[in-house]
Amino acid sequence: MSPSAVTINDVARAAGVSKSLVSLTLNDRPGVKSETRERILQTAKELGWTPNPGARGLTTRRAYALGLVLRREPRTIEVDPFFAAFIAGVETVLSERGNVLVLTVVPDAAAEERAYARLAADKRVDGFLLTDLLAEDARIPLIERLGSFAVSLGAPPGGSPFPVISRDYDSGIDELVAHLVGLGHHRIAHVSGDERMLHGLRRRERFEEAARAAGLEPVVVPTDFSPEQGASATAALLDGEDRPTAIVYGNDPMAIAGMGVAHERGLDLPGELSVTGLDGSHIGSFVYPSLTTLDNDPAGFGLAAATALLRLVEDGEAADVALPPARLVVRASTAPPAR
Amino acid sequence: MSPSAVTINDVARAAGVSKSLVSLTLNDRPGVKSETRERILQTAKELGWTPNPGARGLTTRRAYALGLVLRREPRTIEVDPFFAAFIAGVETVLSERGNVLVLTVVPDAAAEERAYARLAADKRVDGFLLTDLLAEDARIPLIERLGSFAVSLGAPPGGSPFPVISRDYDSGIDELVAHLVGLGHHRIAHVSGDERMLHGLRRRERFEEAARAAGLEPVVVPTDFSPEQGASATAALLDGEDRPTAIVYGNDPMAIAGMGVAHERGLDLPGELSVTGLDGSHIGSFVYPSLTTLDNDPAGFGLAAATALLRLVEDGEAADVALPPARLVVRASTAPPAR
DNA sequence: TTGAAAGCGGTACCAA
DNA sequence: TTGGTACCGCTTTCAA
């Protein structure tokens, strides 16, 4: 009934050979006469047989699966625009290699640790994709201790035993600041994301460097990357003295929330306030004014990360990957300051 | 090294019993003296043993995993705000029962069918969570044919052999229309979502009924649920004659895009145009004006769906579930028409 | 180049 | 209440 009732034995019998030969053939191993090999491949296809990963893993000690554990506040669980495309990128690699993605969403650090430990111990996955990297990320030593593998999006400052997939965002931030300065802005603020996160911190640092290099005194309001805090940071900036004429937000959702606050106060955007996001999202092109931002390539990240991780799992080693640098996407939310 | 090097044999040896007893104990089966049972449980805990799902599944014919296949246009892959919380809800159920979620994102119908077939044939999952239900959804007969299980979010009109998780949205739409009518709106339009999708169609139908019941002539512009089409539908409505004073969008992202278009045309919101979303998203409270919408409970859906599906897989049957009705969330984007 | 048999980590049946 | 053993589907020696 269930189409997969067919096993290696069925194939062996139908092809008139032993299980061993079927196994050797399927795994592209030498030592099978090419006629036999053809016949086996043929009948396997006819029967629609595909090896059972569970049974296979019992001897190969593989799960043929990769894990992604997302930690998100239950209060405001809503995943960044980044992830759908990231997962789709991962998927393109996995599906053509018979692997699968195991996704887990956890509410806090304790549950997170349990999730990694459980997935590794039960051999549910062969390795992990590490996103939202923290400066001192406990997951890296944890995964080492668990005897599993990983790749990280971004390079941990302390170094990592695992491959790193990175993308130059610094030059994009330079460009973005130059763009604003070129428009005539002198008071530029940055509503930064969670600075315990590597990309939040790095963006903040680079923003400050770029601003100073342009002779400006950088103003930074740190947040946790949530729209809420993006909104309150904006309110603080707009209600304070020396109101900025441009605000660079750590991500698009915060920029959108910030625009809401500015509109609420009756400001004309971008005339009285220029805003930019970061990590360009789809919805960013449809708000008013449409959002200037730095693009990102979540699918590219997913593809590179999955490829490297699979390679690490299979060959025991894999190289770091550097993706093409982020690019500036100029839309309608930035303009010369009206003054 | 890897903590899970410990197997049932290790536990049996350490407890001084046979594998069989360990297995019986772990599966809460009768016929084990309670002292022995205690001793086994104790040593299992000490050794940190947890049964290997792959090996287990070999005889039980279970994967101890559920599947979620998402079909998304590669062009504009960005997943609805619904999914993160939905998955988190699923997770709460799965994690405490030693199950896991396998997530797949596919670009088109062909890949989708392959994904279901593969997941089922390879016994990677015991059943599927069906979201974004279509009016005539080919996935239901497909999954039956594959000999697997499913639960669907929403009730297929043709009926379904699988449990249905549903939530009354009709009364919410009635409330929403009544809210607008109460404010004094006479020309209310609906930018509907993809009408091949069950919830898109149902919302449209109910909107029309509610409008007619209030003595209004409903205007509907169908879309595919994307912000793009939300934007272009809005442009068409605003530029046409007999411009509506209120627009009900099929989801929040379209409403946000629509507000962008209205702002771009210099309209004052909500004075000159009231707008509402549907399926309340987090970001919707931070745009300007903050979005009136109908709430949703993605986590509740996830919890109910996973519970029912697991029950179906284990007991061969599970009842339908009706979640509490959607409620109106009135925020700042709706007001009396200025005229 | 091929087949037989053992073993991976469990479950299930049967006899003790 | 217990232990022995066959077996799940596949990979991997090892002999033939």
Residue count (chain B)? 339
Q: Among A54, A76, A282, whose Cβ lies nearest the Cβ of B58? A: A54
- Report the CATH number of the B170-296 domain: 3.40.50.2300
Which DSSP symbol is given to A47? H
Looking at the complex, does the CB of residue A9 fall below 8 Å from at least one CB of chain B?
no
Count CA within 13 A, CB hemisphere, residue B238.
22
Band of residue B75 on the pLDDT scale cut at 50, 70, 90? low
Confidence of residue B136 (pLDDT cuts 50, 70, 90): confident
> Both ends of chain A: CA-CA distance in Å?
75
**pLDDT given for residue A338 in this prediction:** 85
Cβ contacts of residue B159 below 8 Å, gap of 6+?
none
Q: Which fold has domain B65-167+299-324?
A: Rossmann fold (3.40.50)
- In this complex, the residue with its CA at the shortest distance from the C1' of nucleotide D3 is B18
Q: HEC string of chain B? A: CCHHHCCHHHHHHHHCCCHHHHHHHHCCCCCCCHHHHHHHHHHHHHHCCCCCHHHHHHHHCCCCEEEEEEECCCCCCCCCCHHHHHHHHHHHHHHCCCCEEEEEEECCHHHHHHHHHHHHHCCCCCEEEECCCECCCCHHHHHHHCCCEEEEECCCCCCCCCCEEEECCHHHHHHHHHHHHHHCCCCEEEEECCCCEHHHHHHHHHHHHHHHHCCCCCEEEECCCCHHHHHHHHHHHHHCCCCCCEEEECCHHHHHHHHHHHHHCCCCCCCCCEEECCCCCCHHHCCCCCCEEECCCHHHHHHHHHHHHHHHHHHCCCCCEEECCCCEECCCCCCCCCC
Check residue B1 and give its pLDDT: 40
Q: What is the pLDDT of residue A292?
A: 98
Distance CA B125, CA B102 (A): 7
Average confidence (pLDDT) over B116-129: 97
- Identify the DSSP state of A324: P
pLDDT at A158: 87
Residue B85 has pLDDT above 90, yes or no: no
Output the six-digit token pair for A63. 């799960």
Q: What is the mean pLDDT of each run of 10 residues along chain A (339 residues)?
A: 75 95 94 94 95 96 97 72 87 95 94 96 97 93 97 93 97 98 97 94 97 96 94 96 96 94 93 95 91 94 98 96 97 92
Grade residue B72 by pLDDT with cuts at 50, 70 and 90: confident
Could you please report the per-residue DSSP string of A110-169? HHHHHHHHHHHHTT--SEEEE-S-BTT-THHHHHHHTT-EEEEES--TT--SS-EEEE--
Structure confidence at residue B5 (pLDDT) = 81
Of A115, A257, A288, the CB nearest to B286: A257
Is the Cβ atom of B32 within 7 Å of strand D at any atom?
Answer: yes
| Both tokens assigned to A329 | 């996407």
Residues of chain A with CATH 1.10.260.40: 3-50
**B290 close to A (CB below 8 A):** yes
B105 vs A: CB within 8 A: yes
pLDDT for the residue A79: 64
Which nucleotide is the nearest neighbour of A59, by CA and C1'?
C8
Q: What are phi and psi of B322, to 5 degrees?
A: -110, 115
Q: What is the mean pLDDT of chain B?
A: 94
Q: Give the strands of the sheet with B246-249, arranged side by side.
A: B219-222, B188-192, B246-249, B274-276
Whole-prediction pTM value?
0.95
Alpha carbons A63 and B53: distance in angstroms, whole number: 10
C-alpha–C-alpha distance, residues B223 and B173, integer Å: 18
Question: A60: nearest CA in chain B?
Answer: B54
Average pLDDT over residues B247-251: 97
Residue B2 has pLDDT above 60, yes or no: no
Environment class of A28 (CB within 10 Å of its CB; exposed 0-12, middle 13-18, buried 19+): exposed
At the top level of CATH, which class does the domain A3-50 belong to? mainly alpha
Residue A339: exposure state from Cβ atoms within 10 A (0-12, 13-18, ≥19): exposed
* Model pLDDT for residues A71-92, shown as the tens digit of each residue: 987 766 666 777 888 999 999 9
Nucleotide nearest to B58 (CA to C1'): D8
The whole-angstrom separation of Cα A325 and Cα A319 is 18
pLDDT digits 0-9 by tens, B175-190? 999 999 999 999 999 9
Measuring from the CA of residue B56 to each C1' atom, give the nucleotide at the shortest distance.
C10
pLDDT at B43 over 60: yes
Per-residue pLDDT tens for B88-115?
Answer: 999 999 999 999 999 999 999 999 999 9
Q: Does A259 touch chain B (CB under 8 A)?
A: yes
Question: How crowded is residue A324: how many other Cβ atoms within 10 Å of its Cβ?
Answer: 9
Buried b (16+ CB within 10 A) or exposed e, B49-58: bbbbbbbbbe
List chain A residues with CB under 8 Å of B2.
120-121, 146-148
For the stretch A108-143, pLDDT in tens is 999 999 999 999 999 999 999 999 999 889 999 999
pLDDT at A95: 94
Closest partner residue to A85 among B77, B98, B117, by Cβ? B77
